[in-house]
């Protein structure tokens, strides 16, 4: 089960997707992605750990293609 995102990570990803869609839906730059996720953490303190995991401070996300590529 550790290969799947946690419920909190899914919530963060949904909030991120809503924010991106609200601002044109284009793929965000890495700095914009960081700002969006950081704002989610500030707006929803209970999701802060999930935000930091998604930002890569805890490289455990086997379900994330970027993490798998780094491990190779």
5-63 confidence digits (pLDDT tens): 899 999 999 999 999 999 998 888 889 999 999 999 999 999 999 999 888 855 455 55
pLDDT for residue 56: 81
For 32, the domain range is: 7-71
In Å, what is the CA distance from 9 to each residue of 26, 48, 50, 63, 72?
21, 10, 5, 11, 23
Q: Are 19 and 36 in contact (CB under 8 A)?
A: yes
pLDDT for residue 5: 85
Domain count, the chain: 1
What is the C-alpha end-to-end distance of the chain, expressed in Å?
Answer: 21
In a domain, 17, yes or no: yes
In a domain, 63, yes or no: yes
In a domain, 53, yes or no: yes
In a domain, 55, yes or no: yes
pLDDT band at 64 (very low <50, low <70, confident <90, very high): low
Structure tokens at 42: 């500030």
In a domain, 64, yes or no: yes
pLDDT for residue 1: 56
Residue 7 vs residue 65, higher pLDDT? 7
């Amino acid at each position: 089960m550790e290969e799947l995102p946690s419920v909190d990570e899914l919530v963060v990803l949904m909030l991120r997707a809503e924010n991106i869609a609200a601002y044109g839906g284009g793929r965000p730059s890495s700095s914009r992605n960081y700002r969006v996720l950081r704002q989610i953490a500030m707006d929803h303190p209970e999701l802060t750990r999930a935000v930091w995991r998604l930002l890569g401070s805890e490289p455990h996300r086997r379900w994330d293609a970027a993490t798998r590529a780094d491990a190779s």
